[in-house]
Amino acid sequence: MLAVAFCVAVTAFIGALVGHAIWQTASSNNGLQSTGNSSTPTFHYASPGGSSPSSGSNGSTSSVAAKVDPGLVDINTVLSYEDLEGAGTGMVLTSNGIVLTNNHVVEGATSISVTDIGNGRTYSATVLGYDRTQDVALIQLVGASGLSTVDLSTSAATVGEKVVAIGNAGGTGGSPSTAAGTVTATDQSITASDEANGSSEQLTGLIESDADIVQGDSGGPLVNESGDVLGMDTAAAQGFEFQSSGNQGYSIPISTATAIAKKIEAGTTSSVIHIGTTAFLGVTVESAQSAGTGSSGAAIAQVFPGTPASSANLQQGDTITSVSGVTITSPESLTNVILSKKPGDTVSVVYTNTNGSQQTTNVQLGSGPPQ
């Protein structure tokens, strides 16, 4: 099992899971960068400028890409609350614009713009649902019809099989980049640790390949020589660090990703699958211990104007200790409680203010970005 260091900002955005796959974009004038620290990871998505096929494979790789490209989309996101932008890739599953991608591609997005490679048109998109634990999201392009779709493999990836990773490498848009390689292992597990709150999550059953998967390829396909999709590229947001050597890329088996997608499309919610819009409080928080409050809970680092938290007069320095009767011990536990609610729900928030006095307020949650 590989251990992954999930380097994130000190604060968690509620709601938005910390650790976005975000990088500097060509259109940015404010030095956009990862929400993680600035240390260079051993392996990460982002190697701006894209990737190229391995020597001698250009002809076959180009023919594979020609088949697959029309069923792909470039996804560009704006994360207004964090003053950031991001980009990734998606795979068109239906002609009316249902698109499969990684959750971290749309995580925290306040707006989503999608360009279809097949017809060159750009659409706005809404999030149908997502599974944070498996890094899978399903989005709907608004007003789309007649789109080309990807072909899904009915066979699982096998070790030694030749593959091509295709995607929006570097977030530059335009013709998708390609990276040829082979499957080096299957049924792999990656553990990601969140330095902000000490939690960890595990992606299991992954396909490992030596294809040069880079930032922006996230959500794109890993295909076989016939151009059929074996998996969805995913491994880590910028700032993840693998405790291993070499150039491994990881992909979620397409059977796993589409099984989740079908549940989302059917509106089947669960403890890990979120359907529809996301409840929103409107604060960034850090662990109370890190904030030096001497107590447990989620300490408010920032309250965004015009949000439910602002309307309820929650303040920077307040420490949230309970929401709707659930004890809050960390930023992650606060995120989980908010995610279990719906926009419009009213929750009872117990907090300790900067004077050390315990207070209770009722907050009607708004609608915010996906997690």
- pLDDT tens digits along 147-181: 999 999 999 999 999 999 999 988 888 899 999 99
Task: Quickly tell me which residue has 């989005």 as its tokens.
Answer: 139
How many Å apart are CA 86 and CA 216, to the nearest integer?
8
Specify the amino acid at residue 227.
G
How high does pLDDT run on average in the chain?
81
Task: Quickly tell me which residue has 């899978």 as its tokens.
Answer: 136
pLDDT at 101 over 70: yes
* Residue 244 confidence (pLDDT): 38
- pLDDT tens digits along 341-350: 999 999 999 9
- pLDDT tens digits along 245-302: 456 889 999 999 999 999 999 999 998 999 999 999 999 998 887 777 767 899 999 9
* Residue 212 confidence (pLDDT): 87
At 192, list the tokens.
Answer: 């990601």
> Structure pTM?
0.82
Instruction: Give the number of other CB atoms < 10 A from CB of residue 335.
Output: 25
∠ CA(247), CA(249), CA(255), 5° rounding?
Answer: 160
Domains and CATH numbers, the chain: 2-265 (2.40.10.120), 277-368 (2.30.42.10)
DSSP string, 313-340: T--TT-EEEEETTEEP-SHHHHHHHHHT
- pLDDT tens digits along 25-39: 333 322 222 222 222
Q: How many H-runs (helices) and E-runs (strands) does the chain carry?
A: 6, 24
At 159, list the tokens.
Answer: 């070790």
- pLDDT tens digits along 361-370: 999 999 999 9
- pLDDT tens digits along 119-149: 999 999 999 999 988 999 999 999 999 999 9
Specify the amino acid at residue 134.
Q
* Residue 215 confidence (pLDDT): 80
* 17-26, 43-52, 55-64, 322-331: segment of lowest average pLDDT: 43-52
3-state secondary structure of 93: coil
Specify the amino acid at residue 157.
A
